[in-house]
Amino acid sequence: MESRIFELTQLDAKTLPERALKLAEEAGEVAQAVLSATGASGSAYKGLNLADVREEAADTAIVALSILAQTCEDEAMFKAELNRLLSEKCGKWEAVLKRQA
């Protein structure tokens, strides 16, 4: 899947700022879906559900990964950076959780 995202990023002419704005748009769609799916006041009428939340979360993840891809020189660097950063960030998250336990 990483290769597909890297290839699609190369084929898509969006600039880095455009991708960053797209990420903000998709994050907003996640928020909208969560508000509706959880019955938040003023948002429930939109009729969105957890399947919509999952779909918007996937959109958000894809755009975030395309930003990562666009900032890498080639596919090998993209895969290496993706693995390095996810490992590092998950390690930090895990450490925070351990401190809270």
Q: Smallest distance, Å, CB 98 to Mg ion?
A: 34
The alpha carbon of residue 34 and the mean position of all alpha carbons in its chain are separated, in whole angstroms, by 15
- Considering beta carbons, is residue 59 or 81 the nearer one to Mg ion? 59
Cα–Cα distance for residue pair 38/53, rounded to 1 Å:
10
CB-based contact 5:65 (threshold 8 Å): yes
Q: How far is the CB of 59 from Mg ion (least distance, A)?
A: 4
Is 9 or 60 the residue whose CB approaches Mg ion more closely? 60
Using CB under 5 A as the criterion, which residues of the chain lie in contact with Mg ion when the complex forms?
Answer: 26, 29, 56, 59
User: Which structure tokens are listed for 30?
Assistant: 């996640």
